[in-house]
Amino acid sequence: MTNQSKMRVVVIGNGMAGIAVVEALLKTGAPLSITLFGDEPQTHYNRILLSDLLAGKTEAERIFTRPRTWYAERGIDAKLGLAITGIDPVSKYVTNADGGAAPYDALVLAVGGVPFIPPIPGSEKKGVFLFRTLEETERIVAAARSSRRAVVVGGGLLGLEAARGLINYGVSVTVAHLADRLMEQQLDPPGASLLKRELERMGIRILLKTTAEAILGEERVTGVRLTTGEELPAGMALICTGIRPNLTLAQQIGLRTNRGILVDDRMATSLPGIFAVGDVIEHRDKTYGLIAPLKEQAEVLADVLVGKNQRRYPGTLCATTLKVAGIHLTSAGDFLGGRGAEELVFIDTEKAIYKKCVIRQNRLSGMILLGDNKDGPRLFNLIQKGEEIGEIKSSLLGNVSVEGGAGAASGAAALREADLVCNCNSVTKGMILAAIREKGLKTRDEVAAFTQATTGCGSCSQLVEDLLGEATKTPAKGPATAIVAERSPTKTGPGALKTLDLEKIKQEGLGIDFDRLREEGTRALVPEDYYRLKTYGICSQKHPGYFMLRIRIPGGAVTHTQLMGLADLAEVHGRGWGHLTVRQSMELHWIRVEDSLEIFERLEAIGLSTRSACGHTLRNIMACPHGGVASEGLFDVQPWAQRITDYFVKRSDLINPTMPNRLNVYFAGCRACASDAAINDIGFVAVERERTLSDPSDLSDTSDKKLGFELWVGGSLGAHPMLGFKLKEFLSPPDALAACQAIFAIHTKFGNRNKAKSRLKYLIEQWGREKFVEMFEKVFLEKQNLPENREIPLPSLADPGPRPPLWKRIGNRLNPVSIPNTPGILPQRQPGYVRLTVAVPLGELRAEQLRAVGRIARRHGNGIVHFTKDQNLALHWIPVRKTGRAVQALKAAGLSLKGKESGPALLACPGTEFCTLAVTNSQGAARDLLRFRPEAPEKAALFQSISIHLSGCPNSCAKHQVADIGLAGTMTPVGELRRFSYQLFLGGQVEGGIRLGAMVRKGITEEMVVPTVDALLGIVATDRLPGESFQETVLRLGADQVASLLEKEIGPLAPELSDAITMIPDLIEAR
């Protein structure tokens, strides 16, 4: 048969609809002459995967599905990069942009949709993007690499996928959405609210009921003004306000259109010989923007064109899946429910899971699966088939992977062989399993090649992986060990550290090619590099592509100049925030590894470093800030922390690869801070004793007392807390370095290399104290005689620390003023001066607040700011007469003195908001406590006086064992489930003598934290004796009695939970 006798089919559109028509026509085997026109010069690519490309989850070449040879091999005349400019429906030919013409017997319009662009002034500026084509996506990626802020206009499917992709480049993203909820076409209000919260946890700011009023800037975008009047600074803006059918050609030739080109059940338009499929059509009052409908439409059209004319298109029931990393969402059918519908709903706000099944006339008619959508295909099959659900109705939610119901089938296991897995390409579970077994398929790519599953939107990829596992798994030979296997939370990427051989990594070297990271970002990292980064102070963050940066602040003291530099870094790289840690460091979140070198250089310029801030290193050395100024202080110990830091950090390249685990060091300059020495690997406590004849003579010191340190060793909290012991009663200050060197040497040479037992405390436990003391004295003597130690300058014991200039001190003495009796203001031992303690709730400070504190320290104090162990700030050398001005300046910055706020002394680690090890949202629970106000005056007074520490895991980063009330995140295995909750500790303290709290209750979920604290306050208020503190009442009653009273107040823990609760085994060594 010649070409002249073949039916001439012209397809306009090389997208997914056009290719679907071509493939459906080829499948018929009919003699056809097919000409295909495409606007874009590229061969066919999967437009759905553009969001993956933007997010960095795939490469551009992987989204192309048809090479140029594919067209030629099938006899298709492909004219790519050639737009159609006109259609003559009478003579039946099309004209293209080059002036050429192509005749047709049947014309198929598969021109898809075009982005809807609202009339926003300035939308033509450089830096404003649409998100529709490969070329546009590549331009967005290029702009994101150099932009800091972006605004996405539109909070639908496309806008949210774009926003999620942008944050992977470190861009601070704000989404402005005109409706009152996100994805209002796919979600009801509860689901949209939960989705909003999860996106905000990822760092995306969401603004509802507003949109862009104008794009600001001259030629290039500099910001976006919203309809609320707010102006958002931005280096780029994405307009994602929806896709509309491309009606240009249709309207030129007078085709009937409404929202799309109107077609009948044969896919025919209002003009003979012209058909349409895909996003451009409107069929039975519906338009479509998904893959599954266009496949069905293409098959119907092919049947019509080759003359069989047996099939008709009835319309397609669609399911929508959001392609956002970290969020699993599927919505389908009548998800809103309403009158005449029955709704089955499950919600777990802690785990961000929301499931809703809508039932009408005993049939499943709609669903929303957020947070866990593994059963989406099974439920969607039920919706499509319209079968009566009968007896399975009561188990619908139980079988929707609500992490519940022992033995409840979910995901791939719950699908029948006839059920669709890939809706885009109509591939069933049975077809996939048959291909795997018959062809010996081993990978998802092989399954895709043989069955086309996963080659559409890709949302069925995990199900295909599960089916691969199901088809190839070996039956278990013994009892299930799921509980053991899941004792610690599953992580991806950097979380694979748990399986790495850390000792091998150390032997291979801890160096990182930061120049390469600057160019390639996380793509340059291998799994081992995530551990190496820790030695540079860079830790994994919960959000893919981002990291936490820990900055060493030796002794917790920074100059006002350094604080200004830290504020700049927080503003540029930390989204405007800094976090004070309980070890007197500063953390920045939302760091990109591409920016590491720039950050290191800026820190070096102000005399700070991140070196050895994480990993198996000497961590930031802590120091009591009060030794040189408090009435009970002996001497300023901060300079000693600085000297020892300098010594070890300079040698960190040699030391860090040899260390079995980290070492924590603490210097106490007053008795109030002495107890902290017992919960650190090495602790120094300032002491004085009577001089003896054996003491070296010092003509400059004529006092009868000699100053020095007690030396403590072996303390640590974590999942297995141990208190240190006093190694030496008295240590001459110059010997502090030698003592650290000796303990380092013992730890390095003899420490256990088993990560779970590699802390110094376990070596002491293994040896016994006597053997450790004997070994220490031997090594200590060697280190005392090191020649290099004699060359290291040592601080002066008589120096109280940096003081204000002389003219300020004279002015203060000439104008004495009485010290105000105000919480947070304490007298110094130097007459006429006070020290201020500034409350920093949860250690979170904005960049402008850091600058404000720096200015106050410079103007009113000695220019030094101290980070305290309780995540607050301290300012010294404030003249009494300037106290009022300093306090007013703090108030203007949104800060207050410690004790002025109406709440407990509250500490919390970053928790699941940032930390990859955390299992509970300790920051969220802490914020709930900050908002809590007990109604009864007795409870309110107690609440004001207590300490509450919340750790997101057993690692004790917030020191939960040494607080009045301590809460530690842990995992509760129940059967095959995992519940994340808190363990409750009571009776701990560190001030005025160390005491570890007793664990009195398990399984406290996040929503029970505030009621539990409220109940404890009520118990103590009822049973306390006159003048007793919360702590004293708890100790008098005893932990068991308090636990019994608490059970009466809030009820017993379910036996199945109580029996199964387990702490995650010693994750303290992992960080």
Residue 411 near residue 463, CB atoms below 8 Å: yes
DSSP state letters, 901-934: SSS-EEEE--GGGTBSS--S-HHHHHHHHHH---
Estimate to the nearest angstrom the gap between the alpha carbon of 226 and the chain centroid: 28
Mean pLDDT computed over 282-305:
91
Q: Is the pLDDT of residue 319 over 90?
A: no
Quick check: 177 pLDDT over 60?
yes
Average pLDDT over residues 103-113: 96
Q: How confident is residue 1003, by pLDDT bands cut at 50, 70 and 90?
A: confident
Percent of the chain with pLDDT over 90: 57
Pairing status of strand 665-668 against strand 682-690: parallel
DSSP per residue over 1024-1052, as a string? PPTT--HHHHHHHH-HHHHHHHHHHHH-P
Which H helix or E strand runs over 844?
strand 844-846
Q: Predicted confidence band at 902 (pLDDT cuts at 50, 70, 90)?
A: low
- CA distance linking residue 1064 with residue 334, whole number of Å: 42
By the 8 A CB rule, do 370 and 324 touch? Answer: no
What count of Cα atoms within 13 Å lies in the side-chain half-sphere of residue 988? 28
On whether the CB atoms of residues 917 and 954 are closer than 8 A, the answer is: no
Q: What is the pLDDT of residue 459?
A: 66
pLDDT tier, 479 (very low <50, low <70, confident <90, very high otherwise):
very low
What's the confidence (pLDDT) of residue 340? 85
What residues contact 924, with CB distance under 8 A and at least 6 apart?
Answer: 911, 913, 1006
Instruction: Give the separation between CA 636 and CA 629, rounded to whole angstroms.
Output: 8
Question: What would the pLDDT profile of 578-609 be if each residue is shown by its tens digit?
Answer: 999 999 999 999 899 999 999 999 999 999 99
Minimal CA–CA distance to 912: which of 928, 923, 896?
923
Which helix (H) or strand (E) segment holds residue 160: the answer is helix 157-167
**pLDDT above 60 for 523:** yes
Average pLDDT (513-531) is 88
Q: Which of 86-100, 335-349, 671-685 has the lowest mean pLDDT?
A: 335-349
Q: What is the C-alpha end-to-end distance of the chain, expressed in Å?
A: 73
Q: What is the mean pLDDT of residues 1016-1027?
A: 94
905-1069 has the same fold as 128-241: no
What top-level class would CATH report for the domain 905-1069?
alpha beta
Of 70-84, 557-571, 695-709, least confident by mean pLDDT is 695-709
Top CATH class of 493-605 equals alpha beta
Q: How many CA atoms within 13 Å lie on the side-chain side of 266?
A: 16
CATH number attached to the domain at 3-114+245-305: 3.50.50.60
Instruction: Read off the pLDDT band of 703 (50, 70, 90).
Output: low
Max Cα-Cα span within the chain: 120
- What CATH class does 806-897 carry? alpha beta
pLDDT at position 320, please?
A: 86
With bands split at pLDDT 50, 70 and 90, how would you rate the model's confidence at 691?
Answer: confident
Burial class (CB in 10 A: 0-12, 13-18, 19+), 426: middle
Question: Residue 817: which pLDDT band, with cuts at 50, 70 and 90?
Answer: low
Q: Which of 9-23, 468-482, 505-519, 823-837 has the lowest mean pLDDT?
A: 468-482
How many CB atoms within 10 Å of residue 678? 24
| Angle at CA of residue 262, ends 256 and 268, nearest 5° | 100
Torsion 190-195-200-205 (CA) sign: negative
Query: What pLDDT score does 414 carry?
Result: 67
Cα–Cα distances (Å) from 976 to 401, 405, 482, 492, in that order, read 11, 9, 6, 20
C-alpha R_g of the chain? 34
- Amino acid of residue 154: G
State the pLDDT at residue 1002. Answer: 87
Backbone angles phi, psi at 161, to 5 degrees: -65, -40
In the predicted model, what is the mean pLDDT of residues 414-436? 79
Indicate the pLDDT class of residue 901, thresholds 50, 70 and 90. low
Q: Is 285 exposed, middle or buried (0-12, 13-18, 19+ CB in 10 A)?
A: exposed
CATH 3.50.50.60 is right for the domain spanning 128-241: yes
- The pLDDT tens digits of the residues spanning 652-667 come to 888 888 899 999 999 9
Q: Which residues pair with 96 in a beta bridge?
A: 84
Burial 453-469 (b: 16+ CB within 10 A, else e): bbbbbbbbebbbebbbe
As its CATH architecture, domain 326-409 has: 2-Layer Sandwich (3.30)
Global pTM value: 0.59
Please name which of 163, 158, 261 lies closest in space to residue 206, comparing C-alpha atoms: 163
Rounded Cα distance between 11 and 9, Å, is 6
- Beta-strand relationship, 342-348 and 353-360: antiparallel
Evaluate if residue 1 carries a pLDDT over 50: no
**Exposure class string for 569-602: b at 16+ Cβ within 10 A, else e:** bbbbbbbebbbbbbbbbbbbbbbbbbbbeebbeb
According to the per-residue pLDDT averaged within each range, which of 45-54, 149-158, 375-384 is highest? 149-158
Phi then psi for residue 873, to 5 deg, are -125, 150
Work out the average pLDDT over 963-968.
96
In the predicted structure, residue 317 carries a pLDDT above the cut 80: yes
For the record, the structure tokens of 455 come out as 């080659």
Q: Where are the domains of the chain?
A: 3-114+245-305, 128-241, 326-409, 415-472, 493-605, 630-790, 806-897, 905-1069
Q: Quote the CA–CA distance of 1005 and 981 in Å, as a whole number.
A: 5
Distances (CA, A) of 980 to 919, 952, 1057: 6, 10, 11
The CA distance from 528 to 541, in Å, is 16
- Pairing status of strand 547-551 against strand 420-422: unpaired
Dihedral sign of CA atoms 550, 553, 556, 557 in order: negative
Q: Of 84, 171, 92, which Cα lies nearest the Cα of 127?
A: 171
The strand pairing partners of 233, in sequence order, are: 223
- Could you read off the pLDDT of 238-247 as tens digits, one per residue? 999 999 999 9
CATH architecture of residue range(s) 630-790: 2-Layer Sandwich (3.30)
Mean pLDDT of 851-856: 95
Tell me the CATH architecture of domain 415-472: Orthogonal Bundle (1.10)
Look at residues 181, 199, 198 and name the one whose alpha carbon lies nearest to residue 190.
181
Residue 469 pLDDT: 72
Higher local confidence (pLDDT), 755 or 301: 301
> What average pLDDT is seen over the chain?
86
> Across-strand partners of 588?
549
Q: How far apart are CA 216 and CA 237, in angstroms?
A: 10
- Integer Cα distance of 48 and 460 in angstroms: 13
